[in-house]
Amino acid sequence: MRASTGVVRSIGLLLIGLLAWAQQQPPGSKADRSPRRLESVTWNSVKRELSWVISKGERDRQSGAYKPLTMQTYVINMDKATMTFNGETRGFSKQEAINVTALLDIIAKYAIESTLWWDQGHGQPVDEKDKSGVTRVSTPGSTTAPWEEILRRLEALERRLEKLERQTAGGSVFHAAGFSQ
C-alpha cells in the first residue's frame, strides 16, 4: 500500500481544495477566522451522498494543540446535485455531480480491491517492534494494481480540467467545470 500513499494524498488534497472552495463566503460577508479542521469524510455509495464534518475550534496558547469546540456537517446529494448545510440547501451543476461521483467511485473501487487484497491474505503482519510497513500485492488475475488504475483516472480528470481551462481562455476553471459562485 506504500505506493498508493501519494495517490491517496493527492485525492485528499483535491477533496480538501473542493471543500475549501465550497465554504467560500459570499462577497461582502465577514469571514470567520476561527481555526477549522476536517474531521471526517464519508461517501455513502448506496445513497450517493458525500458528507463531511468540519470542526471549529481554538489553539491552545501554550502547546499549540487544536481543540475542537463545535462540529458542522455538510452533505452533498449527487443525484439531486445539491449541497446542504445547517438546514439550507443549494444546487450546483449536474456535470459537477457527475465529476465528483467519478472521483468517489475510484476511491470506492480502491476500498473494494483493498478488501479483496486483505481477504486473500496479502501483505505481511506488522509487528509492533518492526514498523517497516506492508507491501501491497495486486489481486490474482489483475494486470493492473488498484493504485495504477486510480492514477490513470486522475490523469484523465486532470486532462479534462486542463481542456476546460483552455476553453475558458484563462477564466475560472471552477465556473467552466460547473461550479457556481
d(CA 71, CA 175): 29
Residue 59 placed within a domain:
yes
Query: pLDDT, tens digit, for every residue of 49-67?
Result: 999 999 999 988 899 899 9
What is the grid cell recorded at 90?
443549494
With a cut of 70, say whether residue 134 has pLDDT above it: no
**At residue 131, does pLDDT exceed 80?**
no
- CA–CA distance, 170 with 166 (Å, rounded to integer): 7
What values do phi and psi take at 40, rounded to 5? -160, 155
Answer yes or no: is 128 within a domain.
no
pLDDT in tens, 21-51: 555 556 555 666 788 999 999 999 999 999 9
Q: Is the residue at 167 inside a domain?
A: yes
Q: Is residue 130 a part of any domain in this protein?
A: no
Q: Which residues constitute the domain of residue 75? A: 2-17+34-123+135-176
| Residue 103 in domain | yes
22/17 Cα distance (integer angstroms): 9
Residue 119 forms part of a structural domain: yes
Q: Which amino acid is at 58?
A: E
Residue 24 lies in a domain: no
Lowest mean pLDDT among 81-95, 110-124, 163-177: 163-177
On the CB side of 180, CA atoms within 13 Å amount to 10
Average pLDDT over residues 101-122: 91
Q: Decide if 104 is inside a domain.
A: yes
What domain count does the chain have?
Answer: 1
Cell of 137: 500485492
pLDDT of residue 37: 92
